[in-house]
Amino acid sequence: MKTPGTREGTRDALIDAAERLMRSKGYAAFSYADLVDEVGIRKPSIHHHFPTKEDLGVAIVEGYIERVKAEFDRMEAEGEDLEARLAGFIRGFQDGLLAGKLPLCGALAAEMTVLPERLKALTHHFFDIQLKWLARILDHAVASHQIPAKTDTEGKAYQLLSLMEGSSLVSWVMRDRPPIDSSMLMAVVRA
């Protein structure tokens, strides 16, 4: 574990605080001044770790992608049941909403026109990772006869990701409804 006050601990604290801000306020709406308040260090110290806000954003998204990929690997290792895998996929969205945060790349996607190029590319890359993972687990579900052989797995992957991102945005705004559950995603897959 990295100790706060060490170089690594301070860097991690900055990433954690900035991710919370990006997922609640948006990339364009937070500044290093917000991090001064959140982390309790001076702006020059922030610039020492991340010379630009874009560098910080890239570190956040790259770390997030690695965590999600590890979670996808874990879900696949736990079992082959499609509904269980989709429930795990949904859990990531639900956990963020319970903490008052939008999905990171969904929040970034809403700001694509103002994002720096590296963040645009990473946001696109992350959506691509999710779509490919969903298509892969759907392909496996077809091969293991969990869903019909005629299923358009790439099309269904797009529908599932769109449904989760969209329902997360609506749930975040309304704050009185949970996002959809795995039985709803299974209905989309089987339709």
DSSP for 11-56 reads HHHHHHHHHHHHHHT-TTT--HHHHHHHH---HHHHHHH-SSHHHH
- φ, ψ for residue 6 (rounded to 5)? -85, 165
Instruction: Find out whether 104 and 18 touch, Cβ atoms under 8 Å.
Output: no
Residue at token pair 């897959």:
189
Selection from 25, 174, 170 nearest residue 111 by Cα: 25
- Segment 77-99 mean pLDDT: 91
Those residues whose C-beta lies under 8 Å from the C-beta of residue 12, and which sit 6 or more positions away, are 2
- The confidence score (pLDDT) of residue 74 equals 96
Instruction: Find out whether 89 and 164 touch, Cβ atoms under 8 Å.
Output: yes
Go through the domains of the chain in sequence order and give each one's CATH number: 52-190 (1.10.357.10)
Ranking 40-44, 76-80, 140-144, 177-181 by mean pLDDT, the lowest is 177-181
pLDDT averaged over the chain? Answer: 91
- Distance, CA of 69 to CA of 80 (rounded, Å): 17
How sure is the predictor about 1, in pLDDT bands with cuts at 50, 70 and 90? very low
How sure is the predictor about 181, in pLDDT bands with cuts at 50, 70 and 90? confident
- The confidence score (pLDDT) of residue 9 equals 85
Instruction: Find out whether 57 and 116 touch, Cβ atoms under 8 Å.
Output: yes
User: Is residue 159 pLDDT above 50, yes or no?
Assistant: yes
Specify the higher pLDDT residue, 172 or 89: 89
- The confidence score (pLDDT) of residue 112 equals 94
User: Is residue 5 pLDDT above 60, yes or no?
Assistant: no
How sure is the predictor about 3, in pLDDT bands with cuts at 50, 70 and 90? very low
- φ, ψ for residue 4 (rounded to 5)? -55, 145
Those residues whose C-beta lies under 8 Å from the C-beta of residue 19, and which sit 6 or more positions away, are 60, 64, 104
**Residue 138, Cβ density class (10 Å: 0-12 exposed, 13-18 middle, ≥19 buried):** buried
Q: Looking at the whole model, is its pTM more than 0.75?
A: yes
- Segment 11-35 mean pLDDT: 93
